[in-house]
Amino acid sequence: MGDLSSFCCLNAVCSDVGKRGHGNRTVTARYGPGPTRRMLRCRTCKGRFSERKGTPLFDARLPPEKVTDVLAHVAEGVGTRKTARLTGVHTDTVTRYTRLAGDHAADLHDELIPFSPQDR
């Protein structure tokens, strides 16, 4: 089944929303090509969600390797048009995945780093 400790419930009205390693996740189904993607269920609220929800890979049309390739170029500071040429995707695709990754990174930052270190 794999390690589910890094996942949390994404249902805003669930009492266990955002609690990682809480032990209330189960895999209810697999889907997608393979099928390799897991559908997770919260035992508390009975909600189901994809393991990819909230990530740039959720509902992605590009293969995961191509998304990683595009975002690796962007992370290295390569511009949108250069990234599109080097990876063989449209500039709008680069922009869309960059925004999705940025939103995901902002959410992770807010969760993992709630307070900035104080100045001396």
Q: Is 14 in the site for Zn ion (CB under 5 A)?
A: yes
Closest to Zn ion by CB, 40 or 74: 40
From the number of C-beta atoms within 10 Å of its C-beta (0-12, 13-18, 19+), residue 67 rates as buried
Q: Least distance (Å) from Zn ion to the CB of residue 23?
A: 12
Q: How far is the CB of 38 from Zn ion (least distance, A)?
A: 16
Q: What x/- string results for residues 74 through 93 when contact with Zn ion is judged by CB under 5 A?
A: --------------------
The single residue among 19, 26, 37, 45 that binds Zn ion, judged by CB under 5 A, is 45
Closest distance to Zn ion from the beta carbon of 110 (Å): 20
Read out DSSP for 36-85? -EEEEEETTT--EEETTTTSTTTT-SS-HHHHHHHHHHHHTT--HHHHHH
26 touches Zn ion by CB under 5 A: no
d(CA 55, CA 20): 16
Nearer to Zn ion, 9 or 67 (CB): 9
Q: For 84, what's the count of Cα atoms within 13 Å in the CB-facing half-sphere?
A: 13
